[in-house]
Structure 1
């Protein structure tokens, strides 16, 4: 049978490309471009001959983009020394730079190409407004319908129609797009907060690149955007600090809880008598006994188990702690030793003896490690109590998952008690019995009361827990053993034991191997600590005998002094050589030349954004600020007119301007003509974002997919941005607009507060998206109850109604005047020259005409060179005369081009017919113009 052949790389790449063309954002881009063409029509009807709104600022900005592309290819050093406004320096800084459109400016030459380029950028700027806002609102958590309504409302708000002649103001789509990319890179959304699995450094880098590109388009929008980015970074830093503080406090609380749990599970060091018997009716309840009972899964008769111990179960450290006891084996029935502290007078299950002994021994070793500094005697003083069953009662001791040993009536079940091995103990083998046959553990117990060399016993015991055969007539005896007691000895060594419990399916036999070993050392405390730390613990998850289970629990319970002892340790098989012996390291001489890899500690709390994103933000903010400073240098070098405060006060709109639409709005233009006439500068004060947007945002305050705290935050931000948009209307702007923007030079073009309406519209759009999505969600819920369960045509139409309303309010009546044809003389006459007639509006068209040769030109309109340009026009008003000629000669102008077809009705209407022989200049007639050559 042959497998299907996998597609190759070419086919997989083709499929991925095709899927990309039908992705949500790809479809959104198509729709945004088509909508931009429709909403800006007829911008692309005659894209090489018309400009939107007027021939003033669009002509100048078309020239500006052409100059940037031309000079970066030919002479990048002269970027800011534009050919217009001669001989002024840094003349490109007379308006927003638009350096970000440099690549577009490199395509084509001449006025026709400049006009086409401007119209294409004009349409794409509207499309980018939709794309950026859609991506931002979707990233924040809105659905498709809500994001579409927000994007269209933001891109085609009525107030923006008055700005159609300013490409730098229309080109604001990079602002929401950059914020969306940064939010995506940090894994943040309003609905879900920060999600570490959604982080992406690549998206964060892309966001910073888009933000830098947006800054290069101009400072009129770039400076407020920089403030917003700084505010977001501060909020991110505060959120990271709060997250770190909460993680630190949580870690402290967890450590405190761990200490409390460790205190509850730590055994109490009881003063165990060296002689005498512990009363069988009231056995001591210690941590070892509780852990043993917990590991065995049942409570022995006569022993009370607290709820806290019972809850530990086999998963606690007591269940998987140490199954080994050092230096002692369970005494067999009938065996006696004169030197032993305790003797067994009855036969006991060998498994129980071996398990309990192993557990107590490991517990004593761990206790010795913990208390070696302060209490060496207490480290070996904990005793495992004996749980005695009265005669005639059959004790049932469960081990592991419930396997039990049930002796016959009249048989005594002697509890397993382990004692810590004395110093210098010798190991000895023990006998083992198969399943179902009673066995006796043969071991040697060394006296713990001798101060000289003592022998340690090593017992290997295999107990059959399923057998109920015990020797009849055996006297019930309580085997009492003192674990790890050294009465007068100051030299004590705790042996390490390891028990391995292996269970075969279908049987209840368990084998416990206990090995006790000691090493004589000069310092008993040091030896006890080192031996205790080397204890290897093995625990099986399968059913085991009561001896193995009880020994495991008792050992871990007696030795659990801190919270680290309660951690579940992995099971190890001591029979494997690779576990007991670590592989020998290979010595490689290259390791001396390698840099050591630092071992980093795992943070106790999860950081909010991580180290990588923190570095990306630092680098992104640094580059953003560096680019801003680099572009700001020529703007700062310009002469400050000192009139920015007066201009800010003049352009500050009143509160009612938020309800007045511009003249370019097809819906509200004529309706608001009367209130618009009361505004000081209607073109910059008609700030209506749309009544449909107002209604949707108001509804979003009450019914929304956003959480209440987010709605309140958006409302607060909305109030702040409205106050800033009104400029000096509130408190003369002393505490609002002026501290943030009033100290910048006039060349930064921050004199018009109404342009901050961009942020007001964005916040309203986010609120509106929440309301629209909530409405759509309710409609889908209603549709789910229908048969068939999908929305009907009227319900679908109702969900799209908000989108239709915002599109309708964005319908414009923007004019698209035809650009005058370029005079032939401007293709041939070199500079420096002055073109007559000169005026504020016509000079911007002349700048556009020079995009063929970019010769030096004294003309220039708009921007912040208005004062010098007004002085120029006043001094050349009588040309040709001595005064004007001397002035032009002083500034370096060598030619004057008089356009015969454009001088009608101006002061230069007769300049072409006046004699110039006595003025020491030369005149030459060319088609459509007269050229004056100055000496």
Structure 2
């Protein structure tokens, strides 16, 4: 630009070294002639160029930029070629497959398959643990899919527990698994669905805990230890028959997303520049999904989230935290969705409490399931490493299935080390240790200080908690907190090793230290290896689903009822049989009448209740000949069909 503010035209001679004055000549290879031949230029183009050339430019003498060819031009690097579309897509796929979260997810699934083996080998005819609660949960999953696809208004009024209503709310519903519930029909599909979700629950728990602890600031090994310990702690196998308790992965995944969305970690605290409101919405949605799994572990999770909200509100009132307005808005929207889903899920359970007042648990019920202190250090019989060694002390527990609560000795040792050496601050370590103690006290129920009044019994009076009866299941929170402490220890040791190495190039000692860091992970995995049984599920009698209902199947032992419920997934006939966490009075009355069948008063009571068919299974009944009563005098018809003795109660 000249002094008058007019732009001057730069020539090749005025251009800086290494630049090209001609607009498109810069892309030509070195040594190539950049001046077009004069005899090849069209006359019209030449004339046009002359007519449109500014006077100043035309007055400027032309400079010959052509020089002798550079003999070293052949050694110059060739211009980079633009990658093809296929190569670009391959690069993107490679980055996705090699990403930490992809690797963690794949390894989490593979570990879940290995630790639950042979669920993946025989997923259509076996169930893990036993034929008690797993058939019940398989029926719950199947009924949800059947009701949604056939009559959504009947979702909460199942085919079992006739004639009681809202029977789906007698236990946790696992409605969050509905996408899988609508696939397939019949009892084989129900078993297959259960096994796949059983594996998925373990995988989600390990990956979710890994994501949470990584977000808090742990290194990969520390986060892996916390994830494996949370998903495969020895105590979990005492609950292996309860898929709704195993399905805790949504809890840690939601906490990980919420922490990421708020820009929070234990190493960096709150960082406004790392706030990601989108992750906040995702975290609240995952939390809402977790509530749809069930209130068995969802109620406590809801109170934990409420505590986090109150803590954030207090920090805002004390001017210790000033979140962006967008973050506040996204929390309000996500929290509203979570509250709405919780209210919708709670309504049927509140109706059950209104219809059946005796459904609420008492402190006496809580006492029956409260473990002693030694239960925190006892492994269930399914533990391969500790099961046999703990047989004597385990048998001394009043109710071992709910009182063998060992989180893992390796995990406890690493957590203790994390109080001394850790990547977390001293204040964070003190708070984590206090939380471990508080959660462990609550786990003890009425066996805590002052008969539990300094722990779970005081919390038991909060809304919703009085519907729970097993305080030992809070051990999952103790395990998570121990895992965070352990991850801090491993991360702290790794950081000290890096500080000691300084700027020295890594060598064999450092490589050996990295390998040694995997030893705690291997020990945690070893404590999680189990010998869980996988019994074969007997097939239902042919034609059972086609019998006119309502029907009653005999004998009706508790575990037999759960198997009958699974069989009923072939068509879902209306049946008196049913077993869950609660038995309504009317169901108990009909059960008593069934035990006296075919006594005249039993037949009359069943007929008055609307029961049309009574089925006696020869393979289950010890003395079927006692049912050869005078059926004509009782007004019933008898038919022998395979393993079934079928009695039809005439109106």
Match of 1:89 in 2: 165
Aligned mate of 1:734, from 453, 458, 470: 453
Match of 1:636 in 2: 350
Match of 1:915 in 2: 630
Superposition map of 1:746-825 within 5 A: 749-781=467-499, 789=507, 791=509, 794-825=512-543
Deviation at 1:242, TM superposition (A): 3.0
1:838 and 1:859 in contact (8 A); partners too: yes
1:784 and 1:790 in contact (8 A); partners too: no
Q: Structure 1 residues 693, 933: CA separation in 2 closer, same or farther (over 3 Å shift)?
A: same
3-state SS in 2 of match to 1:902: coil
CA deviations over 1:644-676 (Å, ceiling 9, x no partner): 321101111112211111111111111111111
Deviation at 1:241, TM superposition (A): 2.8
Q: Structure 1 residues 608, 893: CA separation in 2 closer, same or farther (over 3 Å shift)?
A: same
Deviation at 1:228, TM superposition (A): 0.5
1:182 and 1:203 in contact (8 A); partners too: yes
3-state SS in 2 of match to 1:875: helix
Aligned mate of 1:714, from 424, 432, 443: 432
1:39 and 1:812 in contact (8 A); partners too: yes
Match of 2:197 in 1: 121
2:361 and 2:469 in contact (8 A); partners too: no
Superposition map of 1:310-321 within 5 A: none
In structure 2, how many angstroms separate the alpha carbons of the residues matched to 1:647 and 1:17? 55
Match of 1:863 in 2: 581
In structure 2, how many angstroms separate the alpha carbons of the residues matched to 1:53 and 1:783? 49
Superposition map of 1:841-856 within 5 A: 841-856=559-574
Deviation at 1:634, TM superposition (A): 1.6
Q: Aligned pair 1:661/2:384, yes or no?
A: no
Deviation at 1:102, TM superposition (A): 1.0
Superposition map of 1:130-145 within 5 A: 130-145=206-221
**Please, which moves more after superposition, 64-73 or 883-892?**
883-892
In structure 1, how many angstroms separate the alpha carbons of the residues matched to 2:505 and 2:147? 67
Deviation at 1:749, TM superposition (A): 4.7
Match of 1:220 in 2: 296
CA deviations over 1:433-488 (Å, ceiling 9, x no partner): xxxxxxxxxxxxxxxxxxxxxxxxxxxxxxxxxxxxxxxxxxxxxxxxxxxxxxxx
Deviation at 1:608, TM superposition (A): 2.8
Q: Aligned pair 1:613/2:330, yes or no?
A: no
Deviation at 1:806, TM superposition (A): 0.5
In structure 2, how many angstroms separate the alpha carbons of the residues matched to 1:147 and 1:781? 21
2:361 and 2:468 in contact (8 A); partners too: no
3-state SS in 1 of match to 2:160: coil
Match of 1:925 in 2: 640
3-state SS in 1 of match to 2:619: helix
3-state SS in 1 of match to 2:290: helix
CA deviations over 1:357-378 (Å, ceiling 9, x no partner): xxxxxxxxxxxxxxxxxxxxxx
CA deviations over 1:53-110 (Å, ceiling 9, x no partner): 1101000000000100111111111110011111111000111111111111111111
Match of 1:423 in 2: none
Q: Aligned pair 1:684/2:399, yes or no?
A: no
Deviation at 1:126, TM superposition (A): 0.5
CA deviations over 1:178-219 (Å, ceiling 9, x no partner): 000001111111111122222112111110011001011111
Unaligned runs of 5+ in 2: 1-26, 29-78
Superposition map of 1:520-599 within 5 A: none
In structure 2, how many angstroms separate the alpha carbons of the residues matched to 1:896 and 1:929? 10
Deviation at 1:779, TM superposition (A): 3.7
In structure 2, how many angstroms separate the alpha carbons of the residues matched to 1:854 and 1:12? 52
2:230 and 2:480 in contact (8 A); partners too: yes
Deviation at 1:736, TM superposition (A): 2.5
Unaligned runs of 5+ in 1: 245-606
Deviation at 1:614, TM superposition (A): 0.9
In structure 2, how many angstroms separate the alpha carbons of the residues matched to 1:240 and 1:759? 27
Match of 2:7 in 1: none
Give the length in aligned residue pairs. Answer: 569
Deviation at 1:792, TM superposition (A): 5.4
TM-score normalised by L of structure 2: 0.84
Deviation at 1:117, TM superposition (A): 0.6
3-state SS in 2 of match to 1:243: coil
Match of 1:673 in 2: 391
Superposition map of 1:495-534 within 5 A: none
